[in-house]
Structures are given as C-alpha cells and as structure tokens.
Amino acid sequence: MKISFIIPSHNEEKYIGQCLESIFKEVKGSGHDYEIIVVNNASADNTRIEAEKFSGVKVLDELRKGTNFARQKGLDNAQGDYLAYLDADTKLPSGWIDYAEKAFQKDPGMVSLSGPYKYYDIPKLKGKILDALWQTTAPVSYKIIGYMVLGGNFIVKKEALLAAGGFDTNIKFYGDDMDTAKRLSKVGKAVFDMNFYNYSSCRRFLNQGVISLSLKYAINLIWVILFNKPFNKSGTI
C-alpha cells in the first residue's frame, strides 16, 4: 500500500506530536510506501512548529477554517493510492495498517474502511458510557444505513474519493462524515468495522457533555441521510 496520512490540525500544538509519533511507530519496518501530511488549518498557536519538528512531515497551510477545507487540501496534495485521515488528537494502535491492508485485499469492492474511537483520557464512568454508546449505536446504525465514516479514523482509496467528489466544503463540521460516507457508498462499499479502532482524546465530550454532544452528532447524521444536509448548518464544535 502507498499511503498518505492526512491530519487536519486547528490549534493542535498540544496533541499533534503524539499523533505523529504513533504514525511513525506504526510505519517503521512495515515496508509500506508512505507520506505524512499535516494540514495546518488556520491555527493561532504553534501547531506548524510542533509538526515541523518531525523530519519527513509535510506541513501545508489552509487558511479557511473548517475540517473539510483541510481534508480537501490533503486530498489535492496527496501522492498515495490510499489516504488515511486521522484527527490530530488521535493515536494509532499497533497493527492498524496491516488490518486495513488485509481488509482491502479481502474485499475488492470496499472503497473505505472506518471504525470507532477508544478514549485515552476520560474518567472511568464517562468512559463506560461512551463505550456503551459506541457498542450499541454504531453497529446498529451501520447495519441500517449500510455505510459509515468516522472522519478521524478512516482510510479510503484516493480514486474512489475523487470519484465521489472529494469533501463538501460547504459543511463546516456536523454531518461532514456522513455526507462523505453517503457519497462514497455510490462508488463502492464504505465499511465500518468495530475492530478497526484508534485512540482519541475525549476533550470534546468533556467540554460539552457526553449526552449533549452525542445527540448533536446523531441529529446531524439523520439530517444528512434524510435531507442531504446537516441540521447545524454553520457552527463548528
């Protein structure tokens, strides 16, 4: 696999280092051809400086704030046949690349592979609630809908993403993942596998509340499926 790792990063000086370390640890000795692209998305902190500390990392600036602007910037500049999109506060588990490679080899009709998060910095009780939400809602939703993407943990064939039209930059945050998955599903299988996880910070849930934020995600997911647009049209998280 020739893989381009693409990490949209808005004010991520605290997290980007550990994300990059996990990628380098995963690709070391793997034999895969790879590149790592950090898209510095209108940051007002030292995100670029922290990313540039890592030799071999390409840092691109995207001045238009919005995750899909950053993702599209990565798509426009990536050289890989497969694009691995990660959030800046995530960390890859060992075997992530091998799992993806085997999945694509097993199912030639699959154009993207995604999976859930496991949280590394959450209080025990809230962690149990989030784990329960993932285990109960994600498999059921995927079975009903038939396609799903988690934007901070997915790998996609570049040719398929281009055929699907790339990312909708009119969507600022909520609903962006489902919109991408829905369009990819017209090209091939957008698979969601509960065993294909990575580790993420739970900071957004701690800031906004587990139930409140989960409901926002759910409402916008449903809106994209039914009306092809998110419920929250402009605001970001």
- Please report whether residue 62 resides in a domain: yes
- Please report whether residue 236 resides in a domain: no
How many structural domains are present in the chain?
A: 1
- What is the per-residue pLDDT for 235? 46
- Please report whether residue 235 resides in a domain: no
pLDDT band at 176 (very low <50, low <70, confident <90, very high): confident
Own/partner contacts of 28-33, CB < 8 Å, gap of 24 or more, are 30/97, 30/98, 32/1, 32/2, 32/3, 32/97, 32/101, 33/1, 33/2, 33/3, 33/80
Average pLDDT over residues 143-149: 92
Asked whether the beta carbons of 123 and 165 are under 8 A apart, the reply is no
- Please report whether residue 234 resides in a domain: no
Task: Report the candidate in 195, 193, 183 with the shortest Cα–Cα distance to residue 229.
Answer: 183
- What is the per-residue pLDDT for 175? 74
Ordered DSSP codes for 56-123? TEEEEEE-S-SHHHHHHHHHHH---SEEEEE-TTEEPPTTHHHHHHHHHHH-TTEEEEE--EEESS--
The residues facing 154 across adjacent strands are 85, 114
> What percentage of the chain has pLDDT greater than the value 70?
85
* 16-42 per-position pLDDT tens digit: 999 999 999 999 878 889 999 999 999
* 10 CA to centre of own chain: 14
- SS3 category, 192: strand
- What is the per-residue pLDDT for 133? 81
- Please report whether residue 212 resides in a domain: yes
Give dist(CA 173, CA 66) in Å, integer.
Answer: 7
- Please report whether residue 90 resides in a domain: yes
The whole domain housing 106 covers 2-227
Asked whether the beta carbons of 159 and 188 are under 8 A apart, the reply is no
pLDDT band at 132 (very low <50, low <70, confident <90, very high): confident
Cβ contacts of 95 within 8 Å, gap of 6 or more:
none
Give dist(CA 150, CA 192) in Å, integer.
Answer: 8
pLDDT band at 59 (very low <50, low <70, confident <90, very high): very high
Q: Identify residue 124 by its one-letter amino acid code.
A: K
- Please report whether residue 108 resides in a domain: yes
Q: 155-176 burial by CB neighbour count: b if 16+ within 10 A, else e?
A: bbbbebbeebeebbbebbbbbb
Asked whether the beta carbons of 39 and 8 are under 8 A apart, the reply is yes
CATH number at residue 96: 3.90.550.10
Evaluate if pTM is beyond 0.85: yes
- Please report whether residue 52 resides in a domain: yes
